[in-house]
Structure 1
Amino acid sequence: MSSTKNQKNDSSQMKKILSPEAESHEGGGSASEHNNSPSSPSGESKGAGNERNRPLCQPPTRSVSREPEQSPAVFIGKNIAVGMEEFRRAPKCSMELDSLEFGPKHTVLIDIKAFKTYQELKPVSGLDIWNTDYVKMPYSEKNIMIESGVFTDSKKPRWEKIKKSLSKLNRIATSKAIEEAIKSYNMKYKDEWHFDALHMFFSRVDDRNKREYFSIIERMANLAVNLPLICPKSIPLLKAEEDRIITLSHEQIACLLANAFFCTFPHRNSKRSEFSNYPDINFNRMFADGSEQKRQKLMTILHYFEMVLAKMPKGLVTFERRHLKDKICWKSSKLEVTDLHVSDEGTIEEDGAGMLQVDFACAMVGGGVLGSGLVQEEIRFLINPELIVSRLFTEKLQDCDCLRVTGTQQFSKYKGYSNSFKWMGPHHLPENTKRDKWMRLYTEIVLIDAIKFKERQQQFHMDFINRELHKAYCGFCENNIPEDYCTAIATGNWGCGAFNGDPRLKALIQIMAASQAKRQLAYFTFGDQQLAKDIRYMHNFLAKQKILVGTLYNLLHDYCVSEKSHNTAVREKSHNTSELYQFIYKCVYQPHST
């Protein structure tokens, strides 16, 4: 219960603590001058406990719509800035790795002895395993196809048919020849699969470039049929709720992707197969439904093969599935908010170089990369095509699962998003690019999937918030690695596009998860200036008031309870996503009135 006198005293105390005079004394200049200065690291914040003699920021003053008479006063928050150049990045902050070893939970597809002795990337020998724990390889003796004859049907090794059909592309490579080759060993789908996107792609290429593309196709076919030599060891599946690691060479990934392009993987084309809980890997959907977006996708994929076939990268890539076994008691967390940088400019892959980069994943990793999808995850899989091979062995992510991928290379530049996406040419690694002890590039990407909401208001329920907190924490946390050796996290509006996530809520969730993991956070809003300001002000406010993660969790709980108590139909029409932040501001300064 509140009184006018108490409200007046609270307001006076707040203004005394966070007065404009204090702002001028501590930082000099207005918040707007600081935020708009070209030389200032705009939106870069440091958590409590660090130097605080920085200009203050002023959060937005919009009122909570259902209680306009109790709208909070003008809140002044301190901009506790830290430049992005101060964020921890690899390789500068990386720990020394142990020797690369094969183990019960780590399958290495190269010869470790040759690697340690000669730094040679030779494939390790192995047996063909045809069961539900491993990828069913195209060259397996158990991969049989049935051919109809005049008097009887006969069973023949499918791999022999694949080799024979792909070898014909050395003599005649046209889009029609590619279609016929693929259908020759996928007869079950000859009437279902369509190749109009592939035909459209080649129809729009001039004769000189067409010859170059067909030359790439021929070399891809040669690479694909060498699969038994390049990947002789069976590849385990990364199953749900398990911790497991797979390490491959760039060449092995290229060979597997060439086979995916030519649709050679068995038991991966039906939703009723034992792999129904895995993403599709064969490229048949990429070839269907011609559109400009498919043309741009094919251009990006073929450019990748052009580059690796001209000069195969010498290094390794690791795919690690992680499962969070012990959940966090968020309401009891005593950690303060972490360092934060917010910007409406820049990209995760470029400005977040050397950081743990977040991929806004689908539970089926890669989403619609082989179909019509072209948003954040699909674009990342296209410019770093080695990510696509994760679809071969990664089962659908569960609520407390994530996938970490270390060492993939970016091969393409791009511009645009969704329908405006365009391939913009090759991306070349600098000559002095470093690799770690396992010969992996210092590119670490974490795939975490958000919940897809039919209605935005659904996410303001603690069961969903708990799920997203644990999902983000699973992706962000490290085991037995000191804080100073944990790189910053580069992220953005996770699950806020087609998945209907509220960007301000998702920002708080990621701030909390990063704080619990004791990692700095770089947040990119992809051109949304107002969102960048709102997140920046909120973080500065939380840091200045020394709000703990547990306290913030309880504030989210209170907000969800208050949302539930109002008529949903009315709230849907008037809901403003900024209300969450205004609720938090008011609860901190006027706890008795909430």
Structure 2
Amino acid sequence: MAARNDSSQVRDLMQFEPGSDPSRASSSSSSSSPQPSCPADVSGGRVEAVEAQQAEDGSSSSCPLNRLKHLPQCENRAGRLTFSRTSSVLVDVGVFNHGGGAVPREGRDMWNANFVKMPSSPSSVMFAKSLLSMQSSQTSRWDTISKKLSALAKKTTASAEDVEDAIMKYNPKYKGQWSFDALISFVKVIPKAENDFGKLFPKIAALALQLPAAVRMGVPLLKKGSSASITLSQVQISCLLANAFFCTFPHRNAAGPHAEYTGYPSINFTRLFGQWSSRKKEKLRAVMQYFRVMTKEQSRPNGLVTFERRCFKDTEMPNWIHCEEKMNKLHVASGGAIETEGTGLLQVDFASSCIGGGVLGSGLVQEEILFLLSPELIVSRLFTEKLGDTECLIITGSQQFSQYSGFGDSFEWAGPHDDHLQRDEWMRLQRRILAIDAMNFKHRSDQYTMSNVTRELNKAYCGFKGRDPDEPDIATGKWGCGVFNGDPQLKAVIQLMAAAKARRGLAFFTFQDEDLKRGLERTYHQLVSDGATVGRVFRLLRNYCAVQRASGGPHIDLFHFLSRSRL
């Protein structure tokens, strides 16, 4: 195909009338173009195309989903469980490697800025002032917690008001500030067939009391600027989350720029318990299902889960304009979802920079839903500092406990989920989740600058780039395209480029957006047919951003812009 001068792209696209849809102008010519093809082999930058096939849902797709590499197909073996200075393991490695299961590792309490301050720590104290002597005295906070939760655990049945009373006894400074109306209303409105909460509350209290026996060493913080990982057992996670449910974690309730944990998400469940809404009702149903499973000692799972923070230096980021990699495999589907059809792939969490986003508040979009289906993900909020621009969090082994339908206000808990995934050598379920945070654009036009495009490319690349040569391909979608105002076409091209640079295939779910699906397939087909490199696409994005800014407001369709580019 004949090459076209970049400046001619600017002149041509500036001719569109304000408010017109450039994509319609090419509809007649593109309708007769061949269907997208699947790169069967990527070798030395060369892509061999094969004939398009039908996806299982009947929609045309660039590459069948089963052609992408899933975790069970990856040959990299975890090897023996080990720990190091940057890889913390909270179970006894020797016992585990000899088949003894996930026994807590012995250690010591750590009460400093590099570790989670635990509710059971001897250094966690409460202060009380005597009315007679007017002098302050300090007592062990865990003693107070243990007394209240032990009394609750002994009850045959407990009310939401009993939960509130226990929590406020060791959080007295928040009396009158914390509301429990969501929890109280929740118990009242759930039908009797599902309403076992009176018996469940005491079991959660008993689980929380197991914390000192379950976690016997300091839990390190995954701090900004440092690559490190933490591996815990599912039982240890459940004890930590039971304490989050009963709001026992010290120093984690204060907000503001000078608070000790200002760079960390909240972990205590106080916000979830207040301000009743239908969203809170459905969230609490998912949380309760998790605790139903984890309070059954005879049947609760006890595999491992790893939380790994990966940090890249700016010097490790690609010089995008000089990248010679060509497009890798792409599967596009308007039906299906990342957490279902994407199982076995590296599943992208459209994360907030503070992990979990509004899962403990009112938020209920992709990230919050993911954390509700797999509440073990919530524990990452305990120790993961806010993500930087070239950082990501990868979680391996989390279990799904619930099913759902809907999104946002239409979200509904749809019952229990039995997770039958295989486990790896570390007894981790073969599920890997990648948390990467997109930029939040107050004004949609702000994203059309190359500094912001490069930031998003770097963020996606730091998540997509594998540690090993044999890694699963990626399941993603409209990353940052909801409340963050991202342009779905631009974000799709950015992720396609980052995956190509990382030499990984991509499954892209458009969430019922048929126009995006068709447009991405056409654009991908052209990039593959023309042998476009990542560097060439980067230069075209630079031109596109210039056109978009020069247009004075009317949106220029990116896919159409690329379709007019002859490479």
What is aligned with 2:79? Answer: 98
2:232 is equivalent to residue 254 of structure 1: no
What is the Cα deviation at residue 141 of structure 1? 1.1
1:96 & 1:31 partners in 2: Cα distance?
46
One-letter amino acid of the counterpart of residue 284, structure 2: L
Q: For structure 2, list consecutive stretches of 5 or more residues without a partner in the other structure.
A: 10-29, 55-59
What is aligned with 1:491? Answer: 476
What is the Cα deviation at residue 257 of structure 1? 0.2
One-letter amino acid of the counterpart of residue 83, structure 2: F
What is aligned with 2:428? Answer: 440
> Which among 365, 372, 394 is matched to residue 382 of structure 1?
372
Give SS of 2:221's match. coil
Distance 1:220 1:43, change over 3 A: farther
Distance 1:463 1:313, change over 3 A: same
What is the Cα deviation at residue 206 of structure 1? 4.4
1:2 & 1:138 partners in 2: Cα distance?
65
Distance 1:207 1:339, change over 3 A: closer
2:383 is equivalent to residue 405 of structure 1: no
* Contact 1:240-1:395 within 8 A present in 2 as well: yes
- The answer to which structure has the higher helix fraction is 1
1:56 & 1:102 partners in 2: Cα distance?
45
* Contact 1:343-1:524 within 8 A present in 2 as well: yes
2:142 is equivalent to residue 159 of structure 1: yes
Percent identity over paired residues: 43
Distance 1:222 1:334, change over 3 A: same
> Which among 281, 284, 287 is matched to residue 270 of structure 2?
284
* Contact 2:38-2:49 within 8 A present in 1 as well: no
What is the Cα deviation at residue 144 of structure 1? 0.7
Distance 1:154 1:215, change over 3 A: same
1:309 & 1:403 partners in 2: Cα distance?
28
1:535 & 1:549 partners in 2: Cα distance?
16
What is the Cα deviation at residue 43 of structure 1? 8.3
What is aligned with 1:296? Answer: 282
What is aligned with 1:19? Answer: none
Alignment of 1:450-461 (within 5 A): 450-461=438-449
Distance 1:47 1:468, change over 3 A: farther
> Which among 516, 530, 540 is matched to residue 525 of structure 2?
540
Distance 1:180 1:56, change over 3 A: closer
Q: For structure 1, list consecutive stretches of 5 or more residues without a partner in the other structure.
A: 8-22, 24-29, 36-41, 58-78, 590-594
Alignment of 1:334-413 (within 5 A): 334-413=324-403
One-letter amino acid of the counterpart of residue 529, structure 1: E
What is the Cα deviation at residue 84 of structure 1? 1.2
| 1:323-343 deviation line (CA, Å, top 9, x unaligned) | 112111000001001110000
Give SS of 1:278's match. coil
What is the Cα deviation at residue 300 of structure 1? 0.4
1:80 & 1:137 partners in 2: Cα distance?
50
Distance 1:229 1:490, change over 3 A: same
Larger Rg: 1
Distance 1:389 1:55, change over 3 A: closer
What is aligned with 2:19? Answer: none
171-180 vs 101-110, which moves further: 171-180
1:445 & 1:52 partners in 2: Cα distance?
30
* Contact 1:279-1:364 within 8 A present in 2 as well: yes
One-letter amino acid of the counterpart of residue 64, structure 2: G
* Contact 1:342-1:532 within 8 A present in 2 as well: yes
> Which among 548, 555, 558 is matched to residue 540 of structure 2?
555
Give SS of 2:301's match. coil
Give SS of 2:339's match. helix
> Which among 140, 145, 148 is matched to residue 126 of structure 2?
145
Alignment of 1:75-114 (within 5 A): 81-114=62-95
Task: Give the TM-score normalised by structure 2.
Answer: 0.89
What is the Cα deviation at residue 564 of structure 1? 2.8
What is aligned with 2:512? Answer: 527
Give SS of 2:207's match. helix
What is the Cα deviation at residue 209 of structure 1? 4.4
Give the RMSD, CA atoms, in angstroms: 2.3
What is the Cα deviation at residue 502 of structure 1? 0.2
| 1:151-205 deviation line (CA, Å, top 9, x unaligned) | 2332100000001111222325111111111011001111110000001001113
